Amino acid sequence: MTSGELDLSSGIPLYRQIKDILRTEISGGISDPTRPMTEAQLLERFDVSRAPIRQALQELTTEGYVYRQQGKGTFPVTGARVDRPADVRSGGLHQYLADRGLQPTSKVSGIERVEPPARVGHRLGIEAHEHLLHFTRLFSAQGEPFADNTIYMRAPEDFTPTAAELEETGSAFDLLARDFGITLDRAEHEAWATAATADHAAALGVPVGSPLLAIETIFFTTGGLPAGWRSAMHRAEEFKYHFVTSR
């Protein structure tokens, strides 16, 4: 629902239609971030009861598209908002963003077989001089870059995906599972704050030294073998990552 008008015959709940319309306008930069979105304004615009308006605003708040300022109202947060829950499977971010209507795209480059840096090789426990599949991927949502990824994968020599295939699927591990039956069981993550280098700044469209969220991931196959390493640099204002812990 992106036309800006409700479709009463669609069967889609009114709150969901209102939420989708407002989310599209916020992400597209149409909404004025300095102007509060009031219930009265939305009631007049959509000509519905308060219940769907309130539910739409509540879900937009939870997902980070709007924020509530005490005594002033609800304000839009412009730009792409990427909120990744803990239950999104490894390699599943592209599909998750597509399901939310964020129009994910990626640009893959530098596909080659190389000997990884010593630190990566040590983390993966590989033999000396073993060559891994290496490439970079720049993720965008609704045309705005939000994550600059560097990937090293342990994969059969005849696993030779093209950039177009990687961009279409959004996950090299999905292609690996499809072509060779090698599936992932789990992933381990480390996250920290860092400053944008010149390369990351150029890729993500931010000034050098801007705050970034770095997440380094080790992927493991169903059999427990380390299958790959990824370093992902995220625009801190655009990306939120949820995680869970157990006792």
Structural domains in the chain plus CATH codes: 14-76 (1.10.10.10), 82-241 (3.40.1410.10)
Cα 238 from Cα 61, distance rounded (Å): 15
Q: What's the pLDDT score for residue 142?
A: 79
Alpha helices (runs of H) in the chain, residue ranges in sequence order:
14-27, 39-46, 50-62, 93-99, 118-124, 163-169, 172-180, 198-204
pTM: 0.72
Question: How do the pLDDT tens digits run along the chain, 247 residues long?
Answer: 446 789 888 889 999 999 999 988 887 778 888 888 889 999 999 999 999 999 999 988 877 788 887 778 888 876 666 778 777 887 788 888 888 777 899 999 999 999 999 999 999 999 888 999 999 999 998 788 999 999 999 999 999 999 999 999 889 999 999 999 999 999 999 999 999 999 999 999 989 999 999 999 999 999 899 999 999 999 987 787 877 766 6
Q: Give the count of beta carbons closer than 10 Å to the beta carbon of residue 178.
A: 11
Q: What confidence score (pLDDT) does residue 99 get?
A: 82
Sign of CA dihedral 29, 195, 229, 187: negative
Tell me which residue has tokens 């380390």.
Answer: 226
Dist CA 150 CA 238 (whole Å): 19
